[in-house]
Each structure stands twice: as C-alpha cells, then as structure tokens.
Amino acid sequence: MIALKKITHQNLCECIYDIETTEEQKGFVDSNVESLAEAYASITNGGFATPYAVYNDDIMIGFVMYTFFDRADAVDISDPQTAPESYKSSPCYYIWRILIDRNQQGKGYGKQAIAKIIDEIKTMPYGKADRIYTSWAPDNIASKMLFESFGFVETGEVDGSLEEGDYEIVVRLDI
C-alpha cells in the first residue's frame, strides 16, 4: 500500500541517493537534492512546500512535493517575470514534483501518489483554493498521461520562455 511520509533525518539520505529517474527522464525532473533545497528556500522565505517520500509498504519508491501560492509574489517555482498569470491570480496549489524510482515505474505508484496528494490538497492545509496546477515538459508524455487521467487540462499558458525553448506546459484541475 502506498503511503506518503515526511522527509526526516532517518530517510533523507535514501531519498537523495537512492531514488532516481531513468536516463531518458533526467531532463524532465530535477533531482531530489534540488527539490529539497527548493523546499527549504521556499519555507525559509515565507512560502509553502510539502515534500514527501513515497513508500510502498516499508520501501521508499519515490518523492513528491506540492506548494501553495497565496499572493501574487509567492511564485516559488518560477521567475516571477515568466511565471504564468494564473499562478498569481488567486490562491492555488501546485504539484511541484513527482519522481518514482526507475526500478518502480510502470506499477501504478505514481498515480497512487498523485491521488494521495490531491486528496490532501482538498483538505486545504495552507488555505482555500479552487484549483491545482502542475506543468510538464512538452515531450514528457508520461506526465501528460498521468495528470490528464485525473482531469488536468491545459491552460494555454507556459511556464518559462518559449523563445529560448525552456518552458513547460501549464495544466489545471478545478477542485
């Protein structure tokens, strides 16, 4: 059974060193080290970040993280200059990371982890919001299929720079 557990001193090294993507996916998701550093920077600067290790029974199999934007300048994951307006228009949640270990993919664990995150977000742990956002690289078909299976739809916005080719497609789920 899938469970989300807080990152602690006891599981930190396992999360950082043992949970990895496939070679093909390395361009789609940042490392867990970078994700945890971003969570720290967010939290220590008045933002919100909730990182979890994903477990199947007692075995760590992945990492997920979400955040909450409660004001226009609370864009933790983007350059405020290139962040989509929808992130800044009203309070919203954002699924920031999902990484299932390369040896555990294809077993439905990512879908179960996202379902748990969505259920937690619906309790409004940081404040009321009526939507959840996430984004994916244009050629990340696995993420596209995963999030579309929950009803996420493209907003027509991108996060990043189209001109430089460094962007992600922004999607939304109304809750």
Q: pLDDT digits over 87-131, tens only?
A: 777 899 999 999 999 999 999 999 999 999 999 999 999 999 999
Whether residue 149 is predicted with pLDDT greater than 80 in this model: the reply is yes
Identify the pLDDT of residue 23.
Answer: 72
Mean pLDDT, rounded, for 5-34: 86
Identify the pLDDT of residue 42.
Answer: 86
Q: By the 8 A CB rule, do 173 and 146 touch?
A: no
Whether residue 18 is predicted with pLDDT greater than 70 in this model: the reply is yes
Q: Can you give the pTM of this predicted structure?
A: 0.89
Identify the pLDDT of residue 86.
Answer: 78
160 contact partners, CB below 8 Å, separation of at least 6: 78, 82, 166, 167, 168
Q: CA neighbours within 13 Å on the CB side: how many for 56?
A: 13
pLDDT digits 0-9 by tens, 45-97: 888 899 999 999 999 999 999 999 886 556 555 556 666 777 777 899 999 99
Task: For residue 173, give the nearest of 157, 156, 151, 158 by alpha carbon.
Answer: 151
pLDDT band at residue 28 using 50, 70 and 90 as cut-offs:
confident
Identify the pLDDT of residue 79.
Answer: 57
Task: For residue 69, give the nearest of 52, 53, 91, 42 by alpha carbon.
Answer: 91
Q: How far is CA 174 from the centre of its chain?
A: 16
